[in-house]
Every structure is written in structure tokens, then in C-alpha cells.
Amino acid sequence: MDIENRYQHLPSPVMPKVPPQKLLLGQKALVTGASSGIGRAIAVALADAGADVVINYSSGEEKARILVAELAERGARAIAVRADVGDESQVEAMFRRTIDEFGTVDIVVNNAGLQQDAPFHEMTLAQWNRVMNVNLTGQFLCSRAAVREFRRRGVRPEVSCSAGKILCISSVHEVIPWAGHVNYAASKGGVMLMMKSIAQEVAPYRIRVNSICPGAIRTPINMEAWDTPKAYGELMKLIPYKRIGEADEIGRAAVWLASDYADYVHGISLFVDGGMTLYPGFETGG
Ligand code: BGC
């Protein structure tokens, strides 16, 4: 067996059963698009780390309600709030509800995102606008609402050394061009410079802003890329580490990045991608 395929059959890691550290105890978090996929895993990880969590969703009401119950069983306070992140008044209402229920918000995770793929010459303006509206404008509206609340409240040293944290869930496609997905890649490239520019501007208020850039993570959004052995084999050509990522691996990165362990980490894109951004074609070529 060649070196590339030697470990491909190994399952993704199961984390040791140690009690999660309560790195976020007493903090209030809001996760957009949290009813499924990466957002759901982030909400679970933040709750296990001691945060109370607002589960934002736009259409998955039933799944959001089930998640709220699951988080309550795990000992966290959680509420589900419906809002389309691309709609200004709905975002404003969601933050008002969050502050009414929890008193404030310390961590905002801009996770809601979608793909509407098409060959470029067939891409409709509606497909372009929809992806930009959710993936980029949504992150703008939620980040702005977060910064307003963080600035109003300031640092609560008993909870965290910063006044608030914003995590933008971007993608490896903030740097990897992606044919057939021009709207998506453009939105994520936009997230990168939006995040860094906000980070530069709000740092003096002790507000931290960072991105997580997932690679191929096993979720419904990219099922076509992993759900048959043939597709999985093709996908492995793009991943030097030779396995797909799991959503809770993004959850663990989010806990660390939102915690005071990462207090001096500001304005970065943290790639969690098994090396997808390392130009895997050059493993043998070049
Ligand atoms: C996309 C997935 C894709 C992954 C790696 C993500 O941002 O949403 O569909 O599998 O990037 O290409």
C-alpha cells in the first residue's frame, strides 16, 4: 500500500472521555446557523465549556428545539431564536432577545452560511445575491450588533479578560479559488478582509475578532464529496492528512479561540483543514 493510502481507513479520532474544561464558564454565546452541521457542533462545544447559548436558526425549527433540550440536559441554558442573518431588522431583534434573556452576549459565532453552486456562465444574480447576503452581509450585521453590545458593556474581568469575542466561520475558500462556486469563494474572501478590518478597528476596545477556516468537514453541505468510497477517495487527493474532518473538531477550535487561553490571538484565520491549504498537488509535482 502506498504511503498516501496507508491510513485512509482509520476513523476520525474519538476524543478521550475527560470532562470538558469549563473554559467559558459564565459567558453568553450566540451561534448563527446552529441547528445543524458545524454550527450545531460549535453550540454543543461552547455549552460543554460552560457557556449559555443562543441557537439561531432560519428554517430548522424542530432541530433547533431538540438541540435546546439536549443542551439543557448537559447543564447549559439555551434558547432558540429564529432570524435570517441577512435581514437587518431580524438580526437586531435577535440581539435584543438575547440581551433580554441573558443580560448580555460575550461570544458571537458567525456560522450561518450556504452554497448555491453553478457554472459561472449560468450563475444567476439571485444565486449570487443569496450567497452574499447570508455568508457576508449576515456576518457584517451580526458582527456590528455584537460590537455595539461589547462596547456598551466593556470588560467584565470576572468572566473574561476581553470585552467580547467574534468568531467568523470562513472556509479554506477564503484563499483557495473554487471553480463552480464563484459566489461562495467570493463571499469567504470577503469575510477574510472584513474580519481583519474589524479586528484592526475594534482591538482598542478589547474586542477580539478571528476566523476559523474549516476544510472538508463531514456535514450535509458537502455530502456529495464524501458519501461514496469513490468520492471519498477523490477528496483525499486534496487532503494531505488523509481523512475528512468532523464537526466537533471545529467546535473544539472555537472553544479555544473564544477562551482567554487565546487572549492574545487577534485577527487571524485559523485553518482547521488537515493541510488542504498546503497545495497538495505539490506533494509529488512541481
Ligand atoms: C465548503 C465544503 C467543501 C470545503 C472544502 C467548505 O467551505 O462548504 O462544501 O467541501 O469547503 O472544499
Domain ranges of the chain: 3-7+24-271
Instruction: Indicate which residues carry an active-site annotation.
Output: 184
Query: If you average pLDDT over every residue of the chain, what do you get?
Result: 96
Q: What was the pLDDT predicted at 12?
A: 75
Q: Does domain 3-7+24-271 have CATH number 3.40.50.720?
A: yes
Indicate whether 4 pLDDT > 90: no
Q: What was the pLDDT predicted at 2?
A: 67
Q: What was the pLDDT predicted at 104?
A: 98
pLDDT band per the 50, 70, 90 thresholds, residue 1: low
Q: Give the DSSP H/E element, type plus range, for residue 46.
A: helix 37-48
CA 10 to ligand 1 center in whole angstroms: 21
Q: Which of 117, 172, 223 is the best mutation target for the ligand 1 pocket, counting ligand atoms within 8 Å of the beta carbon and taking the most?
A: 172
Ligand 1 in reach of 213 Cβ (< 6 A): no
H helices of the chain, where?
Answer: 37-48, 61-73, 88-102, 125-132, 138-153, 182-202, 229-236, 247-258
**What is the pTM assigned to this prediction?**
0.96
Q: What was the pLDDT predicted at 229?
A: 96
Per-residue pLDDT tens digits for 180-212:
999 999 999 999 999 999 999 999 999 999 999
The cell for 134 is 447570508
CA 225 to ligand 1 center in whole angstroms: 9
Q: What was the pLDDT predicted at 38?
A: 98
Nearest CA to ligand 1 atom 2: 222
The Cα–Cα gap between 158 and 25 comes to 10
Per-residue pLDDT tens digits for 225-284:
999 999 999 999 999 999 999 999 999 999 999 999 999 999 999 999 999 999 999 988
CA 103 to ligand 1 center in whole angstroms: 35
Q: What was the pLDDT predicted at 137?
A: 99
Ligand 1 in reach of 170 Cβ (< 6 A): no
Q: What was the pLDDT predicted at 86?
A: 98
Indicate whether 151 pLDDT > 90: yes
Q: What was the pLDDT predicted at 14?
A: 66
Nearest atom in ligand 1 to the alpha carbon of residue 276 is 5
Contacts 24+ apart (CB under 8 A), 90-99: 91/138, 91/141, 91/142, 91/145, 92/145, 94/30, 94/54, 94/56, 94/145, 95/30, 95/145, 95/146, 95/149, 97/54, 98/28, 98/30, 98/54, 99/149
Give the mean model confidence (pLDDT) for residues 96-120: 98
The Cα–Cα gap between 11 and 122 comes to 38
pLDDT band per the 50, 70, 90 thresholds, residue 8: confident
Per-residue pLDDT tens digits for 55-96:
999 999 999 999 999 999 999 999 999 999 999 999 999 999
Least confidently predicted of 14-23, 161-170, 185-194, 243-252: 14-23
Going by their DSSP bridges, the two strands 164-169 and 107-110 should be labelled as: parallel
Q: What was the pLDDT predicted at 181?
A: 98
Q: What was the pLDDT predicted at 16?
A: 62
Nearest CA to ligand 1 atom 4: 216
Distant-in-sequence, close-in-space partners of 205: CB < 8 Å, separation ≥ 6: 147, 150, 151, 154, 163
CA 94 to ligand 1 center in whole angstroms: 28
Nearest atom in ligand 1 to the alpha carbon of residue 171 is 7
Ligand 1 in reach of 222 Cβ (< 6 A): yes
Which amino acid type is present at position 258? A
